[in-house]
Amino acid sequence: MDYEIVNVLRPDNENWTKQLARLKEKDGKLITLAPDPLFQFKSQQNYPNVLNIVDYVTERTYDPTSSLFFDKVPTVDGAEIFVNNDGTISIICDGETIAMLRTYPGTRRLVRDVKYLNSDGTTDYLEEYAFDGKLFSQIYYFENKVQQIAFYNDDQNVRLRFYFYDGSINAVTIVNPITQKVERKFDNLNQFFAEIVGEIVKPNDQVGISYMGVELNALAKTKSKNSLYLDESVFDDTNNIKGNLEAIMDNRVSSVDKVYISEEDYAKLLENKVDMHKYSVLKK
């Protein structure tokens, strides 16, 4: 199997056009990493042979015939939903605004998320809904800072949790959807992605990435043949080779077998007498 890995599917991104061409050429599968309530809708519109790591773990599915209109959103008993003059949507209970509702752009009606408020106006928690109207996640806040994200399966049971400390994810747990007992725990998001990707991708597979961020880290546990199609300069602002590339070249990062770069950068590296055994010219 041939794979391409990207953090988030962004159809308007120029790089996606290149990844899509590679996928179609090899009849490959796209793996996306980050949680995305719109993921399965976007995949139906752009490239259906896809897998998202969060959806893979939660085992959620997409129903193209389903949706959730804003006036049908589950909320507090006795609450009423109002469309304000400025187009915003409030949920009001006993005369107080308890939540603000947003719809998906271009729909005006389909629920995107509902932000529940504390009495002082700060955010209590946020409910995210997928495009088919299923509950996607709940994001919990304290003093307007994210503390935890709980991701739901199709039965609206929590299957996955991200925990935050000082703005960063410091733990990830996969839990039993019925008992909520922890089945697996990861120290950070990179470890979570690497372990799950490593289970999906097999030694005989081939993987392509275009970025040296979370996508590169996600390859850490793979045994496949992996290629980096670099869509940026090899050199940093000081005209030195970027640190991640040096790590790939000297095998401190051993998960990348081949790096495809521009013809111009390839020529510059030759002039600098750099070890070229992993470099190839990127086809235009």
Q: What is the DSSP string of 177-236?
A: TTT--EEEEESSHHHHHHHHHHHHS-TT-EEEES-SSHHHHTTTT--SEEEEE--S-SB-
- pLDDT averaged over the chain? 95
> Tell me, what's the pLDDT at 108?
79
CA distance 118 to 139: 14
Ordered domains of the chain (ranges, CATH)? 2-59+191-281 (3.40.50.11930), 70-152 (no CATH)
Name residues whose C-beta falls within 8 Å of residue 106's C-beta, 6 or more positions apart in sequence.
Answer: none
Average pLDDT rounded to a whole number, residues 95-120 = 95
What is the arithmetic mean of pLDDT over 149-167?
Answer: 98
Q: Phi/psi class of residue 41: alpha, beta or left (left: φ > 0; alpha: ψ in -120 to 50)? A: alpha
List beta partners, residue 69. 110
The alpha carbon torsion through 17, 207, 26, 33 (nearest 10 deg) reads -50
CA distance linking residue 55 with residue 39, whole number of Å? 9
The pTM is what?
0.94
For residues 97 and 123, is the Cβ–Cβ distance under 8 A?
A: no
12 has a pLDDT exceeding 80: yes
* Pairing assessment for the beta strands 2-6 and 96-103 based on DSSP bridges: unpaired
The stretch 177-199 carries a mean pLDDT of 98
Percentage of residues in the chain having pLDDT higher than 90: 89
Q: What is the pLDDT of residue 275?
A: 87
Q: Could you tell me what percent of the chain has a pLDDT over 70? A: 100
Beta bridge partners of 242: none
Position 272 scores a pLDDT of 84
- Is the per-residue pLDDT at 284 higher than 80? no
* Cα dihedral 46, 106, 139, 4 in deg (nearest 10): 10
Per-residue pLDDT at 111: 98
Given a cut of 90, whether residue 273 has pLDDT beyond it is no
